[in-house]
């Protein structure tokens, strides 16, 4: 009888585990996993001209229905993050607005036509082509009014009559510690402001020279949008890094010269900051050792 009960319990456990695993497999198969190419589209166009761009949507999850729309975005901070708005793109940004079904492992191309009419103002338009799932879902495939899956591609669009929009840059912040301990690294902070009519990327470097240093940091060529400012890190082998000198300075003065261009423009922006390095930690350690030795000698003298 006990053997029969044990077999029954094991059978029930096996059934529950099978159901649990089966549900997990179904949920994994139906999970939403989308990718879009290109992830960003940068273009300049003259009024009364037309450009067509194809975006590819690939579905690595379960079947789903997507609804496309093109809306404006605004930068949310100085680190390159953005917020989507509810404002739709102008009617001269044309695409098929109808929802469509994309099956698992399927890849679908979506065409976008940009055709600003004559007289369109020369300015930038910051847009995002968004694809949104047909209904709110969560990872367990239950309706959830608080969650919708979206994927999008940012579109940086410049309208220019002559192909030479006004570009203007201001160095809002370029700073480093005025005084630093010799056992510390020198960190540089850079924020650039775009006061022109078109976005641009900084192309430049920070050259640091001092007692035991002659080093160059390369600025990351990130987009600075017109009317906004952005923190600019440095780059090393395509990896974004802090603008920091790896080698620790000795005692002395260290000058950092910043110079950059806006894209390929001839104008060069320059400025510099100075840092004084002094071995405070080494001095403190040396002082501590001297005092320790003196006290030790004093103690030994008294003991005699």
| pLDDT tens digits along 126-145 | 999 999 987 655 544 455 45
Q: Residue written as tokens 């510690």?
A: 177
Give domain 32-159's CATH number out of 3.60.20.10, 3.40.50.300, 2.60.40.10, 3.30.2130.30. Answer: 2.60.40.10
Q: Which CATH architecture has domain 169-283?
A: Sandwich (2.60)
- Band of the pLDDT at 11, cuts 50, 70, 90? very low
In which band, very low, low, confident or very high, does the pLDDT at 30 lie, cut at 50, 70 and 90?
A: low
Q: Residues 220-232: what's their mean pLDDT?
A: 96
Domain boundaries, the chain: 32-159, 169-283
For residues 182-209, average pLDDT: 94
Higher-pLDDT residue of 217, 138? 217
The answer to whether domain 32-159 and domain 169-283 are alike in fold is yes
pTM of the predicted model, to two decimals? 0.78
Of 11-15, 76-80, 295-299, the one with minimum mean pLDDT is 11-15
CA distances (Å), origin 142, targets 29, 80, 129: 15, 33, 27
Say which residues have a Cβ less than 8 Å from residue 297's Cβ, sequence separation at least 6.
none
Strands, E, within the chain: which ranges? 34-37, 40-45, 51-59, 64-75, 82-88, 93-94, 100-102, 107-114, 124-133, 150-159, 169-175, 179-181, 189-194, 202-209, 214-218, 229-231, 234-236, 239-241, 252-262, 269-278
């Amino acid at each position: 009888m006990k053997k029969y009960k044990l077999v029954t319990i094991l059978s029930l456990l096996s059934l529950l585990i099978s159901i649990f695993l089966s549900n997990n497999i179904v949920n994994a198969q139906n999970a939403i996993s989308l990718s879009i190419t290109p992830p960003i589209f940068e273009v300049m166009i003259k009024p009364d001209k037309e450009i067509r761009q194809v975006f590819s949507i690939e579905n690595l999850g379960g079947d789903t229905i997507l609804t496309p729309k093109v809306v404006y975005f605004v930068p949310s901070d100085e680190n390159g993050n953005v917020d989507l708005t509810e404002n739709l793109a102008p009617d001269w940004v044309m695409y098929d607005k109808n929802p469509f079904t994309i099956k698992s492992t399927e890849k679908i191309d979506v065409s976008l036509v940009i055709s600003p009419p004559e007289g369109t103002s020369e300015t930038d338009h910051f847009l995002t082509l968004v694809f949104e799932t047909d209904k709110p879902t969560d990872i367990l495939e239950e309706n959830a009014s608080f969650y919708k899956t979206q994927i999008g591609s940012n579109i940086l669009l410049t309208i220019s009559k002559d192909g030479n929009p006004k570009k203007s840059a201001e160095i809002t912040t370029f700073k480093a510690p005025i005084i630093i301990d010799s056992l510390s690294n020198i960190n540089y902070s850079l924020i650039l402001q775009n006061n022109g009519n078109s976005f641009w990327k900084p192309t430049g470097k920070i050259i640091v020279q001092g007692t035991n240093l002659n080093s160059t940091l390369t600025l990351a060529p990130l987009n600075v949008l017109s009317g906004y400012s952005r923190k600019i890190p440095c780059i090393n082998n395509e990896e974004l890094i802090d603008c920091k000198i790896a080698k620790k300075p000795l005692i002395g003065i260290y000058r950092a010269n910043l110079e950059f261009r806006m894209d390929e423009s001839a104008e060069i922006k320059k400025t510099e900051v100075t840092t004084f390095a002094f071995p405070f930690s080494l001095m403190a350690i040396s002082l501590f050792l001297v005092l320790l030795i003196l006290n030790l000698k004093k103690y030994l003298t008294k003991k005699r």
